[in-house]
Amino acid sequence: MDNTQRNLEKVTLGGGCFWCLEAVYLDVIGVEEVVSGYSGGTASTANYKDVCSGETAHAEVVQLLFDPEIIPFKTLLEIFWHIHDPTTPNRQGADKGPQYRSVIFYHNPEQKQMAEASVREVAEKIWPDPIVTQIQAFEAFYPAENYHQDYYNKVGDRNPYCTIVISPKVNKFRKTFADKLK
* Catalytic site positions: 17
- The CA distance from 53 to 50, in Å, is 5
Longest dimension (CA), the chain: 44
Write down the H helix ranges in the chain. 18-25, 48-52, 73-83, 109-118, 124-126, 151-155, 160-161, 167-176
Write down the H helix ranges in 65-127. 73-83, 109-118, 124-126
| CA contacts within 13 A on the Cβ side of 30 | 17
